[in-house]
Amino acid sequence: MFESAELGHKISKEVWKKEIPELREGLLDAQLDLFQSRKFPVIILVAGVDCAGKGETVNLLNEWMDPRHVETHALRDLTDEELERPQMWRYWRVLPPKGKIGVFIGTWYSGPLVENVYGTIKNAELDQRLERIARFEKMLCDEGALVLKFWLHLSKDEQKKRLKLLEKDPKTRWRVTDTDWDHYKLYDKFRQVSERMLRTTSTAESPWTIVEGTDPRYRYLTIGKAILNAMRQRLDAVDPPRHEEPIPPILPTIDNLLILQTLDLTKSLKKSEFESELEKYQGKLNLLTRHPDFKKLSVVVAFEGNDAAGKGGSIRRIIQALDARQYRVIPVAAPTEEERAQPYMWRFWRNIPRKSRFAIFDRSWYGRVLVERVEGYCDRGDWMRAYGEINDFEEQMVRNRTVVVKFWLSISQDEQLRRFKEREKIGFKRFKITDEDWRNRDKWNEYEVAVCDMIDRTSTDIAPWTLVEANDKYYARIKVLKTLCERIEKALEKKSSG
C-alpha cells in the first residue's frame, strides 16, 4: 500500500516554478465558484506519519487559498467542553458549511490509530471505531460533502533522517518531542495498523490518497492538484441525480515516477543458474506441500502481467512441483453467461480451494481494475468500489488461512514487441497472439497507471503484491517460485491466522 510512496518522488525547482502560478489561480477560482454557488462543503483531512509535513502542507494551503473561506482545525487534546460530549461532537461543531472548505490536521483517525498501536484498544475495537468513522463519512458524502483524505507517508529511514535533521537545527528543535521518538520506535506497528485503517476506510466516495512526504515540492503539488481536480470536477458536473455517488478522480502521479518504472528489467540468470535454482525451489515447494501442517492451509496464486510476460511459463514451473490432484489452474477470460448473471466476484469465490490445495489464477479478480477499467467495460464507480471488495475478498481468505500470493510480471515495451513478433513466426505459438494483444499495446500508458493504482490500493500486509522483473524468463520464474516458497513457509510458521 505504501510502495509508491517510498519511491523518492521529487519535483524540480523549475517544474515547481512553472506549475505553481497556474495551480494557485485554479484553486482561487474554484474556491470562488464554490463560495458563490454554495453547492457543497469541502472537507480535507491531512493525516499521516509524524514529521511527514502535515503542518507545513496545511500552512501552504492556507497561503494559497482565500483565507476567508477556509478554516483549519488542528484538534489535539480534548477540551472540557468536548470531553463532556460524544467523541464526534468536536468535529460536528466545526464542519464547514456549503461553500466553504474545512481542513483538518488532527483527524478522527488519530485516536483509534494511536490507541491500537499502544495496545489500549484491541483489533476488534479498532474495527468498531473505524466502522463508526466510515458511517460518519458516508453520511457526509450522502449529504453532498466532498471529502478528500490525504495520508502523508515517510519510510522508516526517511522518518529517522527527518527527526534528526529537525533536532539538529535550533530553530526546529522544539518540534521534536519524546513522543515523536516513542512513535518512531513503534514505526513498524504504526505502519501495519495504518495500513489496516486505510484499507478499511478507503471507499469509492472518499478514497485515501497516499502521498510521499519526503520532498516538500512534490507533496504540495500533489495535494494541491488533487484538491483542485476534485473540486473542479464537482463544480463543473451537471447536477447529478440525487444519490448518484460523486466519485472523486484518482490523480495520476505528477512527477511521472511510477513504481513499475523503478523495476530493473535487466535482471537475469544464466541458464545453468536457472537450472540449479529451479531444482532447488521446486524441490522445496514439493517438500512444503508435504509438511504435516500444510493440511491446515490452502494457497491461492494470482498471476497478472503484461501480455506475453510469461505467466503461463511461470505457472508450469509451479505445477511441475505439485501433485496433479492438488492444484487447479484457472484461466480467467471473458466471463461466461452464467458468470455474467452473478456479482463480479462470484467466479473467483467459486474457485476458492479446499485445504491443502492450490488454485492458480492465470489472470484474476484484478481484471476489474485493469482491463475493465482501461477498456471502459465498467464505469468509474464499479472499479473504484472494486478495490474495497477485493480487499474484503482477500481478507476473508487470509482469515481462513489461505496463503494469497499475487504476482505482477513486468516486461518492457521493446521486449513485448520482440515476443509478439516471435509468436507470430512460430507456428505453435501463433494462437497466443491476437489483434486484442496489439490493441492493448496501444494503451500501454493507461494500463501502467491502472497497474500502479492497483498496487497502491491492494498491496497489503496480509496479501502483498510481488512485482517480478520478467524481461528475462529465467529470472522471473525463479523469483516466482522462491516467493511462493517463502510465503508458504511463513504461513506454516504461524500457529493460526490470528
Pick the closer one to its own copies by CB: 11 or 133.
133
d(CA 157, CA 154): 8
Instruction: Specify the residue, 169 or 379, whose C-beta has the smaller distance to its own copies.
Output: 379
The answer to whether 106 contacts its own copies (rule: CB under 8 A) is no
Between 98 and 280, name the residue whose CB sits nearer to its own copies: 98
- Across 392-458, the runs of DSSP E, i.e. the strands, are 402-410
- Residue 116 three-state SS: helix
Judged by CB under 8 A, the residue of 13, 68, 185, 242 near its own copies is 242
Task: Select from 10, 18, 67, 92 the one that contacts its own copies (CB under 8 A).
Answer: 92
Is the CB of 14 or the CB of 80 nearer to its own copies?
80
336 binds its own copies (CB under 8 A): no
- Alpha carbon distance 92, 103 (integer Å): 13
Least gap, CB of 295 to its own copies (angstroms):
10
Give dist(CA 103, CA 95) in Å, integer.
Answer: 9
State which of residues 85, 270, 421, 443 lies at the interface with its own copies (CB under 8 A). Answer: 85
CA distance 238 to 224: 24
- What sections of 118-215 are H helices per DSSP? 123-142, 156-168, 178-185, 187-201
Give the residue among 397, 365, 391 at the shortest CA–CA distance from 297: 397
- The torsion region of residue 352 among left (phi > 0), alpha (psi -120 to 50) and beta comes to beta
**238, 324, 333, 341: which one contacts its own copies (CB under 8 A)?**
341
Amino acid at 222: T
The one segment of 148-156, 177-185, 345-353, 448-456 that binds its own copies by CB under 8 A? 345-353
Query: Any contact of residue 86 with its own copies (CB under 8 A)?
Result: yes
Binding its own copies (rule: CB under 8 A), the pick from 25, 338, 422, 461 is 338
Q: Interface with its own copies by CB under 8 A: which range of 117-125, 285-293, 410-418, 427-435? A: 117-125
Answer for which of 244, 273, 323, 461 binds its own copies (CB under 8 A) is 244
Our CA dihedral for 226, 232, 233, 234, rounded to 10 degrees, sits at: 110
Residues 369-428 touching its own copies, rule: CB under 8 A, are 379, 381-382, 385, 388-389, 392, 396-397, 399-400, 402
Give the total of residues touching its own copies (CB under 8 A). Answer: 60
- Closest to 251 in 3D by CA, of 315, 207, 308, 306: 207
164 forms part of the interface with its own copies (CB under 8 A): no
Interface residue with its own copies among 13, 185, 354, 425 (CB under 8 A) is: 354
Cβ proximity of 213 and 7 under 8 Å: no
* Element at 149 (helix H, strand E): strand 146-153
Q: Can you spell out the DSSP letters for 340-408?
A: HTS-TTHHHHTT---TT-EEEEES-GGGGGTHHHHHTSS-HHHHHHHHHHHHHHHHHHHHTTEEEEEEE
Query: 383 or 475, CB closer to its own copies?
Result: 383
Take residue 64 and report the three cell numbers written for it: 494559497
The contact set with its own copies (CB under 8 A) reads 38, 41, 81, 84-89, 92-93, 95, 97-99, 122, 124-125, 127-128, 131-132, 135-136, 139-140, 142-143, 145, 241-245, 298, 338, 340-346, 349-350, 352, 354-355, 379, 381-382, 385, 388-389, 392, 396-397, 399-400, 402
